Amino acid sequence: MPRVSFSLNGGSPFQKLMGHVPPILQKWNDLSDHLSGNGQLSAELKEQVRRTLAFGNGCEYCMAKGKPARVQEDERTSLAVAFANIFLDHRDSIDDKIFATLRQSFSESEIVELCAFICFTTASQQFGAMMNLQP
């Protein structure tokens, strides 16, 4: 059971928690929709990153959608998942060398999108964990 009651606003349990403050819900959903879909990076790559982050951030609601693939389909997805793991486990060790490695496979705009997606998804998942949101 979540730590606060569900509001009448929103379509999912997560949104019903955010729905207590409709302006935040709307803007959160807008950013989520923009970041989650195909952009500079594919939705499939971002889904593998999201799954990786879910287990690192401890959001039961997000973990229920499954673990990341054991073997990623392509080098870019593998690199993005590895970067997400570094973010989760060693944030303070992210340095220019790591970004140089990212630049070998990603453009600067793709790196920015990946970093924004990781940060936004982490915020969403930590909110879910904080609120004890269950699947």
Q: What is the pTM of this model?
A: 0.94
Structural contact between residues 121 and 49, judged by C-beta atoms closer than 8 angstroms? yes
Q: What is the pLDDT of residue 129?
A: 94
Report the CATH architecture of 13-130: Up-down Bundle (1.20)
Tokens at 82, concatenated: 């590895």
Give pLDDT tens digits for 44-86. Answer: 999 999 999 999 999 999 999 999 998 888 999 999 999 999 9
